[in-house]
Structure 1
Amino acid sequence: MNDVMRAPTVVAVVSEELFAEFFSDADATRLRVVAESLGGAFVRVDDLADAELSEARIVITSWGIGPFDEAVLATLPTLELIAHTGATIKPFATDELFDQGILVTQAGAGMARSVAEVSLTFTLALLHRVPEMHNALRAGSGWYDAAATGVQREILGARVAVIGASRTGRAYLELIRALGAEPLLVDPTVDARESKALGAELMSLDDALRRAEIVAVHAPTLPETHHLIGRRELALLPDGAGIVNTARSWLVDEAALIDELRDGRLSAAIDVFDEEPLAADSPLRGLPGVLVTPHRAAGTSQGRLRQGRIIVDEVAAFAAGRPLSHVVSRDQLSSMA
C-alpha cells in the first residue's frame, strides 16, 4: 500500500522552507519509516486543517502553531505525542493537552551551541568596543576618538558574570573559559562543587555585578527572574561594563538599560526585545554603544539540523516504546518564555 492510500500517523505542521532547514534528507526518510512502523504515512502540511488527522499519533510542530485546545484536540482522537522543533511550548500547550496525557517534547537543546556562540561574539564585540567604533564610522563622525570609544579589552582575564547555568549558559561558559575569561556564576540551583566543575566562581548576583566587565544573561523565565537585571542592578556595574542578552528580554529591564546606554556608561549587545520586531523608532537602533540583532541567535544551519535530529530521535524513540529525552511537563511550563 502506498502513502497516498494510507492515513497519516505522523504529521509535520512545518512550512516547506523550515522543514528543509530542520530535516536532512536522511532524517526526513527516518520520519517516513517511523510513520510506516505505526501503520500509516508521513505528511508535511502548512496547517493542521490541511491534513487528515483521524489516525495521527504524532504531530511535529514549529513556530506559529496555535493552541491545542479542546476543539483542535477533538480533530486528533489518536494523538499521543507533540514534538516541537523549537524550545518553548507555551504558545500551543494547554491544560487539555496535559489532561489527556499527550506527551510533549522539544528541541531546545539543539540551540544551545548556536546561542552560546552568538553570546561569545557579543562578548568579544563589547570588550573590543566594536559597536562604538562601527557606529561612529557609519555615522561619518571621524576616524578615531579614544575618549568616545572607551577602553578596549581582551577576553583573557576578563571577569564575565554568567547569570544562569542553563544549557546555553553552560555552553557559553565552556567557550569563554577556553579563551581565558574568569567566569563568575550566578545560579541559586548550583552549589559550589558544581560551579567549580563548570570552571566558574559561584557568587551572589550583587557581588558578580560589582566585579563584572561583561554580564551575560542565560537564566530561565520565571516570575522571580522578571527584570532580574533592573535599575538597581545596572547601577552596581562598573563604568564601561557590557550587557549581553541572547536569552529573553524578560530578564533585563529594557527601559532602565536604555537610560544607562544613553548616558554612555554601559554598552550592550542584544538579540531579544520587549517588542518584536524592534520598533523603527526604538532608541536601541541608534545608540552608539549598542549592537542589535533580530532574535536570530539560534539560526545557524548546524543548529537547525541538530533541532531536527533531536525531533526525529524523539519520534523514533516513542514509536519504539523507549523513554524520551526532552519531554516537557505541565510544571515546567512556568520556566519557559
Structure 2
Amino acid sequence: MSDSVLPLVISAPEPRTLDLIFTSEALARFRAKYRIVESSPEGVAALPADVLAEARYIVGQPPIAPETLDKMRTLCCVFNVESNLINNMPYETLFSRGIHVVTTGLVFAEPVAELGLAMALNLARDIVDADLAFREGKELWGGDGNRKARLLSGADVGIIGFGDLGRALNRLLLGFRTRTRVFDPWLPPSILIENGVEPATLDRVLSTSDFVFVVASVTSENQGFLGADAFARMRTGAAFILLSRAGVVDFPALMEAVRSGHIVAASDVFPEEPLAQDHPVRTLPGFLRSAHRAGALDIAFKRMGDMVLEDMDLIDRGLPPMRSKRAERETVSRMRSKPVDKN
C-alpha cells in the first residue's frame, strides 16, 4: 500500500517521543501501517489543510481550537499519551462528533502502586533512615531499632480515590490482609464492595486508618481538600502516602502535621516540580521523598505504544477502543491535574 492511501496519523506526543513509547518492533509496525506526520503540539494548527482533513488519529494532546477541529473531517480518536486531560480542546464537540478521546494512563497504575507499597513499608519499618544511620555508624541493633516499627499486615488502610491506581494498589494489599476502606465520591458503593473494600466517608478513612494512600486525581472540586483539619483527624503516628498529585493537598499543612510529630508522610509529587533546592520539605524528618519517579519505567512507556496500536486496529475495523481509557463527557472538564514536562 502506498503512503498516499495509508491512514494518516498526526504525531505530537510531547513530552513523550515515539521512540519512548514504542519498542523498535512496534514502531516499525506503526510506520508500516500508517502515514505519520510529526509536529510540535503548537504546530498542529498550522499543518497543511489536506493533512488536517485526512488525519484519522492524533497521538498526543496538542491544543485544538474549534476552527482547527472543523478542518479535521475524518478524525476518529485522540490518543493522549501524556495521560493528564487538560482543557485545551473542545471536548463537547469531539464527543458530539463521535471522536474518541482516550488516555494511556493505565500503564502507570502498577508501577506507582508498587512504589506506594514500598513507601508504606518504609514508613512502617524505617528502612531508609536505618540504612543511613548504619552508614554513619549510628545504627541501632535488634529491638532498639524497632521502637516505632509496626506491621502493614493486618493494618487498617484507607485509600482516597479508586481509579486504576487505587485498584492496582488494592490488589497488592490483598497479600497483607489489610482492612481497607475507600473514599471515592465518583463511584457507587457496589463497585467498591465488588473489589473487596469497604465504602467509607472521608472522615472514616482518615480517622480509622494506620496508612492512608492518596491516589485521587485533581478535579475542580477537590483542589487542596486535604488540609489541616483532615490531618488532625488522622490517628497519631499514622502514615500518609501521596501518590497522585500534590494539588489535592494543602502541602504546608501536610508538612506541619509531620513536623509536629502527629503523622509521618511520603510523597512522590510536589506543588512545584522540580522542587526548589531550599524547599523545607527536603530536610523535614518523618517525610519520605521521591522525585515524581513512581511511574516512569521504560516498561510502562512501552506499554503505551502497544495500547495505541491495538486500539487503532480496533477503530480501523469499526470497533471502539478497548485498551486505553476513554474520557467521559461528564467528568473530562473537571480534571485539573498538571501535565508533566519530563518523562
Q: TM-score normalised to the size of structure 2?
A: 0.82
- SS of corresponding position for 1:57: strand
Structure 1 residue 331 and structure 2 residue 343: aligned?
A: no
Q: Which residue of 1 aligns with 2:55?
A: 56
Structure 1 residue 11 and structure 2 residue 7: aligned?
A: no
Contiguous gaps of at least 5 residues in structure 2 = 338-343
Q: Say which of 36, 43, 68 aligns to 1:42.
A: 36
Cα 1:229–1:136 shift into 2, 3 Å: farther
Deviates more, 1:90-99 or 1:252-261: 90-99
- SS of corresponding position for 1:10: strand
> Residue type of the partner of 2:302?
L
Give the Cα–Cα distance (whole angstroms) in 2 for the partners of residues 235 and 181 of structure 1.
23
Q: Which residue of 2 aligns with 1:93?
A: 89
Cα 1:16–1:271 shift into 2, 3 Å: closer
Cα-to-partner distance string for 1:261-314 (whole Å, 9 max, x where unaligned):
222322111111211221222111111211222222221222212222111122
Cα 1:47–1:75 shift into 2, 3 Å: farther
Q: Which residue of 1 aligns with 2:24?
A: 25
> Residue type of the partner of 1:84?
N
> Residue type of the partner of 1:303?
A
Contact 1:221 1:334 in 2 (8 A): no
Deviates more, 1:194-203 or 1:121-130: 194-203
Give the Cα–Cα distance (whole angstroms) in 1 for the partners of residues 91 and 37 of structure 2.
27
Map of 1:259-278 to 2, 5 A cutoff? Answer: 259-278=256-275
**Shift of residue 91 of structure 1?**
5.6
Q: TM-score normalised to the size of structure 1?
A: 0.84
Cα 1:82–1:217 shift into 2, 3 Å: same
User: Pairwise CA RMSD of aligned residues?
Assistant: 3.1
Contact 2:78 2:101 in 1 (8 A): yes
- SS of corresponding position for 1:315: helix
Contiguous gaps of at least 5 residues in structure 1 = 36-40
> Residue type of the partner of 1:98?
L
Aligned-residue identity in percent: 27
> Residue type of the partner of 1:68?
I
Contact 2:42 2:62 in 1 (8 A): no
> Residue type of the partner of 2:253?
A
Q: Which residue of 1 aligns with 2:285?
A: 288
Give the Cα–Cα distance (whole angstroms) in 2 for the partners of residues 144 and 304 of structure 1.
41
Give the Cα–Cα distance (whole angstroms) in 2 for the partners of residues 15 and 250 of structure 1.
22
Cα-to-partner distance string for 1:16-54 (whole Å, 9 max, x where unaligned):
97322311233223323442xxxxx23445556486634
Q: Which residue of 2 aligns with 1:68?
A: 64
Structure 1 residue 251 and structure 2 residue 245: aligned?
A: no
- SS of corresponding position for 2:17: helix
**Shift of residue 95 of structure 1?**
5.0
Q: Which residue of 2 aligns with 1:38?
A: none
